[in-house]
C-alpha cells in the first residue's frame, strides 16, 4: 500500500510542478479511512524528501474528519459553537431565556 501511495504522490507532485504549482508539505496530513479493522502498521507517506505526518482527526474546509467517518467530533464542535453564540446573544440581551429554546 505504501509504495503505491508514494508513487502516485510522486506523479501528482511532478504533474503539479510542471504547471508551477506546489503541494504545501507543512499543511499536508495523511489519514486512513477504514470501515473495519485498521492495519497494524501504516506506511511512511512522502512528498519528495519530506515525510507527511499521520493524524487521527483533521479539519478540512470546516469539517472535522475522523477515520470512521462518524461525524461525532464535527457535530460536537458545531453544537459547542452554536451554544457559545447563544450565550453571547443571551448576555448581550440581558434576558433570561428558556433553556429549551
Distance CA 40, CA 32 (A): 12
Q: What is the pLDDT of residues 44-54, one digit of tens each?
A: 888 888 898 98
Count the neighbouring beta carbons within 10 Å of the beta carbon of residue 15: 10
Q: Count up the domains in the chain and report the number.
A: 1
Q: Is residue 67 part of a domain?
A: no
Distance CA 14, CA 48 (A): 10
Distance CA 90, CA 42 (A): 48
Q: Is residue 80 part of a domain?
A: no
Q: What is the pLDDT of residues 2-47, one digit of tens each?
A: 788 889 989 999 999 999 999 888 888 888 877 776 666 778 888 8
Q: Is residue 14 part of a domain?
A: yes
- How remote is the C-alpha of 16 from its chain's centroid? 22
pLDDT on residue 80: 81
Q: Is residue 45 part of a domain?
A: yes
The overall average pLDDT reported for the chain is: 81
Q: Is residue 95 part of a domain?
A: no
Residue given cell 478540512 in the structure block: 60
DSSP letter (8 states) at residue 27: G
- How remote is the C-alpha of 75 from its chain's centroid? 14
Amino acid at each position: 500500500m505504501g509504495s503505491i501511495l508514494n508513487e502516485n504522490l510522486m506523479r501528482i507532485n511532478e504533474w503539479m510542478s510542471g504547471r508551477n504549482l506546489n503541494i504545501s508539505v507543512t499543511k499536508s496530513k495523511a489519514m486512513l479511512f477504514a470501515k473495519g479493522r485498521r492495519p497494524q502498521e501504516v506506511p511512511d507517506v512522502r512528498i519528495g524528501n519530506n515525510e507527511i505526518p499521520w493524524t487521527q482527526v483533521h479539519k478540512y474546509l470546516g469539517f472535522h474528519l475522523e477515520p470512521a467517518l462518524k461525524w461525532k467530533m464535527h457535530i460536537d464542535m458545531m453544537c459547542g459553537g452554536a451554544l457559545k453564540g447563544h450565550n453571547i446573544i443571551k448576555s448581550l440581551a440581558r434576558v433570561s431565556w428558556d433553556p429549551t429554546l
